[in-house]
Amino acid sequence: MTQVSDGVYVEHSWGQNSGHIGIPMDAIPKFIRYLSAFSPEAAAAATKAKSPVKAAPVSDKGKGIVKKGKEAEKKEPKEPKKPKEKKEPEPKKTIEDLDAELLSYQSERSGAASAPAEAAEAAE
pLDDT tens per residue, range 4-34:
888 888 888 878 888 888 889 898 888 888 8
Judge whether 39 lies within some domain.
yes
Number of domains, the chain: 1
In a domain, 108, yes or no: no
Residues forming beta bridges with residue 3, ordered by sequence position: 8
Would you say residue 11 lies in a domain?
yes
Assess if residue 41 is contained within a domain.
yes
* Domain ranges, residue 8: 2-48
Q: Are strands 17-24 and 2-4 parallel, antiparallel or unpaired?
A: unpaired
Q: For residue 34, is it left (φ>0), alpha (ψ between -120 and 50) or beta?
A: alpha
DSSP state at residue 52: S
Give me the pLDDT at residue 123, please.
53
Nearest to 13 by CA among 21, 3, 22, 23: 21
Predicted local distance difference test score (pLDDT) of residue 46? 59
Q: Classify residue 121: in a domain, yes or no.
A: no
Query: Does 105 reside within a domain?
Result: no
Would 96 be classed as within a structural domain?
Answer: no
Contact 46, 40 (CB under 8 A): no
Task: List Cα–Cα distances, 54 to 57, 61, 88, 121, in angstroms.
Answer: 9, 20, 56, 91
54 falls within a domain: no
| Amino acid identity at 10 | V
For residues 33 and 20, give the distance between their C-alpha atoms in angstroms, rounded to a whole number: 20
What is the tens place of the pLDDT at every residue in 27-58?
888 888 888 888 777 666 656 665 555 665 66
Looking at residue 102, its pLDDT comes to 92
- Summarize pLDDT for 90-101 with one digit per residue, the tens: 888 899 999 999
Mapped onto helix, strand or coil, the DSSP state of residue 120 is: helix
State the average pLDDT over residues 93-118.
Answer: 81
